[in-house]
Structure 1
Amino acid sequence: MSTLIPTIKSGNKKPVEPNFNLLPSLPSWFDDILGKGLGTEFMSNFNTGITLPAVNVINSDNEFVIDMAVPGLKKSDFEINIDNQVLSIGVETKTENNEKNENYTRREFGYSSFKRTFTIPESVDADKISADYSDGILKIHLPKREEAKRKPVKQIKIS
């Protein structure tokens, strides 16, 4: 709780009168209990949407590779575009379940989406960018232009 309760300091001869306006109110106690104790357990299935996935960017001699962990999706869920040296990776999924029984009808639906964007360096050959999705990992390969690839060390002999 963020509300402070006054206490008696040692050596103080006059006791501090409690000010009940400084005590936490009943609604704030409920907020603390629901926010900390029951919030995640009670509502564990409430918001199961996709959060912004973490990304690994690997810079090798010949290419950049973007790895993104996004399990549970299909290849068709992804939209990957390049526009004006900006790579955008987006996902939009919709789910709908209908269950009918003789005594009740239950309908649940959900919507999830995210979009990540990356500025592509001039050293990338945009025409050769490729992507693959396997075992929940999206990999985007951004090959470097020939002139940008790291050249092996050349030793110069003194004449």
Structure 2
Amino acid sequence: MTLVKFNPAKNSNSLIPGLNDVFDSVFNDTFFNDRLTTRVPAANISETEDHYHVELAAPGLKKEEFKLNLDRNVLNVAVERRIEHNDAAKNYSKREYSYNSWVRSFTLPESANAESIEASYTDGVLKIDIAKREEAKIVRRQIEIK
């Protein structure tokens, strides 16, 4: 049995008071939220003088589960993961997880060197380093005042 909180002070536009609260409690449950929204990892994108850096927070995966590919100037990061349970002795009354997949795509700027992309996965973070082309690297110099 699930207890549902009702807020009688809340202004409701429905004909039956409290009806919206019931639907809110059902559809805001984590079971429904996990299935109604696509979960993709959060990304940080930064730039240094000679590289672009992409970091994806993807804990609980193995590096073998990632598939990175470059199609023209679009870098695709995909994961497809199936969890196999061979527990014949267990009689599950509820089983909510067994499959997880997602894809993130990043369009590379023209200044990126598609031939020099490196990736590593450590401590739940996928790090992708994309080198810049020589002509795109920032040139810094001191200008002398005459």
Give the TM interval when normalised to the shorter protein. Answer: 0.7 to 0.9
- Using structure 2 for the length normalisation, give the TM-score: 0.76
Counterparts in 2 of 1:117 and 1:30: CA distance versus 1, 3 Å:
same
Report the alpha carbon displacement of residue 110 of structure 1 after superposing the two structures with TM.
1.1
Which AA in structure 1 matches 2:12?
Answer: T
TM-score (norm 1): 0.70
Say if 2:62 is the partner of 1:53.
Answer: no
Closer/same/farther in 2, CA of residues 61 and 29 from structure 1, 3 Å limit: closer
Checking the alignment, whether the CA contact within 8 Å between 1:98 and 1:105 is kept in structure 2 is no
- Give 1:150 shift: 0.6
Is residue 23 of structure 1 aligned with residue 32 of structure 2?
no
Name the CA shift for 1:23/1:50 in 2 (closer, same or farther; >3 Å). closer
Superposed CA RMSD in Å reads 2.9
**Aligned partners of 1:157, 1:115: CA distance in 2, in Å?**
52
Contact 1:70–1:137 (CA under 8 A) maintained in structure 2: yes
Distance 1:136 1:32, change over 3 A: closer
Q: Helix, strand or coil for the counterpart of 2:68?
A: strand
Structure 2: gaps of 5 or more residues: 1-9
User: In structure 1, what is the Cα distance between the partners aligned to 2:120 and 2:66?
Assistant: 11
Equivalenced residue count is 133
> Structure 1 residue 119: deviation in Å?
0.8
The whole-number CA distance in structure 2 between the counterparts of 1:50 and 1:29 is 24
Aligned pair in 2 of structure 1 residues 153, 127: CA closer, same or farther (>3 Å)? Answer: same
**CA-CA distance at 1:3 after TM superposition:** 3.2
Specify the SS of the correspondent of 1:129.
strand
Matches within 5 A, 1:116-131: 116-131=104-119
* Cα pair 2:113 2:132 within 8 Å, conserved: yes
Cα displacement string for residues 116-140 of structure 1 (whole angstroms, at most 9, x for unaligned residues): 1111111111101110111111000
Identity %: 35
Residue by residue over 1:42-72, the C-alpha shift from the partner in whole angstroms, topping out at 9 and shown as x without a partner, is x49x86x982111000111110000111011
**Cα gap change, 1:130 to 1:64, in 2 (>3 Å):** same
* Max Rg structure: 1
